[in-house]
Amino acid sequence: MTSAPVQVAPGVHRVSVPLPFPPGEVAAWVLEGEAGHTLVDTGIDTPLARYALREAAGHVGVTPESLEYVVLTHAHPDHYGLAGPVREWSGAKVAIHEEEEKLARRFVDCWPEDRAGAAGAFARLGVPDAVVPAFLRASDVIHGFYTRFHPDILFRGERGPLPAGGGWEWIHTPGHSPGHVTVHHPERRILITGDHVLPRISPNVGADLYAHEPLSDYLDSLLALRRLPVDLVLPSHGEPFADLVPRIDAILAHHAERNEQIVALLAAGPRSTYGVAQAVFGDLPADNLLHAVRETLAHLHYLERHGRAARVPGEKVDRWSVP
């Protein structure tokens, strides 16, 4: 059973694509243009997702001939996984930011080399020996979703028009991922946020081999979006909403509170990254705990940059304290 598409504004349709993991669905967006359709994000590549996307797109008049472009907000598999099959079906040109294409290529081409050093990297974060294999398995699953897919169009810089025009523009909003973009129509005051701004949760902003200190980028991107003229926010997960500025302010407050929580923990005594993550997030399944450790490391690097946290020198495991 698939969900019917919903018109959220004239010429803008929300398509629900099922996911095999929480939160259970991701939104793709069909934009009508004078010369054809643009699809923003595609969903993950599973048989059910393929069927749901094809059925819903057909309901709003999308045909292989009418679909001109696919614009990807970022390269996480629940957003870009079906880009290749959609291109094969329609011949549409696929666009993504160049920083995101670099990330996807490293995920595919360099993972064997990166994986060889992953166990040691986890150990330096304080991950116990008994947990490291579970972290490696979770990482393998993530990397296994990526394919040798290459886009047709690379966005470069900070901002530009969508290929199909129509007044839509893309805006580089790094943080959740290095090449994440949002899609904005200034005159219509509509913003497709991808995973950058969600109505109920704060997206994972994690540090790892591919992003050393992404939290500064994320907070700066939020502040930039806060200045945009927006009346309708279209997130990838959750329902459309109207109040962009209050939601951004709530996310900014959340990260400020998390920083203070971590500083208070470090003031009580040095801790490893893993130790901080456990204190903040509690016991979690391995795949969720991996993301919690990455998010904790992003906060620690942010605090280090601002002189509020420091590594304890001379130890095999990186431990952190207040300066």
**DSSP letter at 34?**
S
End-to-end CA distance of the chain: 56
Domain residues for the domain of 317 are 6-321
Residue 1 included in any domain: no
User: What is the pTM for the complete model shown?
Assistant: 0.94
Residue 11: predicted pLDDT = 96
**Buried/exposed 307-321: b ≥16 CB within 10 Å, e otherwise:** ebbbeeeeeeebbbe
Q: How many residues are given for the chain? A: 323
Q: What is the dihedral of CA 312, 273, 214, 200, to 10 degrees?
A: -140
Residue 224: predicted pLDDT = 97
Residue 107: predicted pLDDT = 82
For the chain, where are the alpha helices, taking DSSP H only? 47-59, 77-80, 83-90, 98-109, 111-116, 118-124, 132-144, 214-226, 244-267, 273-281, 286-305
Tokens at 265, concatenated: 């923990």
Residue 49 included in any domain: yes
Residue 93 included in any domain: yes
**DSSP letter at 23?**
T
Q: Based on C-alpha coordinates, what's the Rg of the chain? A: 20
Residue 2: predicted pLDDT = 64
Residue 39 included in any domain: yes
Looking at the 3D structure of the chain, how many domains does it have?
A: 1
Work out the number of other CB atoms within 10 angstroms of the CB of residue 41: 28
d(CA 189, CA 185): 6
Residue 290 included in any domain: yes
Q: Which residues partner with 38 through β-bridges?
A: 31, 69
Q: What is the CATH number of the domain that holds 295?
A: 3.60.15.10
Residue 76 included in any domain: yes
pLDDT of the chain, 323 residues: tens digit per residue: 567 899 999 999 999 999 988 889 999 999 999 889 999 999 999 999 999 999 999 999 999 999 999 999 999 989 999 999 999 999 999 999 999 999 888 888 888 888 889 999 999 999 999 999 999 998 988 888 777 789 999 999 999 999 999 999 999 999 999 999 999 999 999 999 999 999 999 999 999 888 889 999 999 999 999 999 999 999 999 999 999 999 999 999 999 999 999 999 999 999 999 999 999 999 899 889 999 999 999 999 999 999 999 999 888 899 999 99
Q: Which residues partner with 310 through β-bridges?
A: 321
